[in-house]
Amino acid sequence: MEGDPATAAPRTRIQQRNMRRVLDAALEVFSAQGFRGATLDQIAELAGLSKPNLLYYFPSKEAIHHQLLADLMDTWLDPLRELDPAGDPMDEILGYMRRKLEMSRAMPRESRLFANEILQGAPRIGPALEGELKRLVDEKAGVIAGWMEAGRLAPMDPHHLIFSIWALTQHYADFDVQVRAVLGPGHDPFAEAGGLLDTLYRKALTT
């Protein structure tokens, strides 16, 4: 799409601001409605732009969704990238868990956007899952396996350890309404979850 305003660097602050307004509105709509339920009219209205103005920046709903997912994938992998092979194994695993939990607290809409895409079979990010994400997970699983083989962590399948961290942290973003309904007022789900998950993984991984 050479020459498309959606893929070129914005030339003015107004363009930058409007593109950000579109993407932020789209994130809200897609995370609530899913890709199929979202419409350009909904996104334009929430962004405070006319539909023709929105289409100047992005030629279709698919283009907006693709841009959101492309931006999100890089952010989504950052906490795992930070797992340091030279660090203390327990500190590194618990640090990764805490970063994922904080991401769920700070980015619930992004988490739901990602979850919706996966539930639909990942039609737009399948290649990224099989490429960049798989390579990074395999690399860090290899680091964890090395720690386990050296007796520094209790043995278990490192891939499924990573999957469990995804599941137990992202639950608090994807099922936020359910969690808060069950806990009731006066609770901080993320603070409470952090303490429990710290204990859970520390006990599971201690040799």
pTM: 0.85
Per the structure, the count of domains in the chain is 2
Residues 153 and 81 both lie in one domain:
yes
Residue range 90-116, pLDDT digits in tens: 999 999 999 999 999 999 999 999 998
Residue range 110-157, pLDDT digits in tens: 999 999 899 889 988 899 899 999 999 999 999 999 999 999 999 999
Residues 154 and 184 both lie in one domain:
yes
The CATH number given to whatever domain includes residue 152 is 1.10.357.10
| Domain hosting residue 53, numbered range | 13-59
- Cα 83 to Cα 86: distance, rounded to the nearest angstrom: 9
Residue range 20-40, pLDDT digits in tens: 999 999 999 999 888 999 999
Residues 41 and 137 both lie in one domain:
no
Residues 104 and 48 both lie in one domain:
no
Does 7 fall in a domain? no
User: Nearest Cα to 158, choosing from 169, 173, 143?
Assistant: 143
User: Nearest Cα to 141, choosing from 118, 126, 161, 119?
Assistant: 161
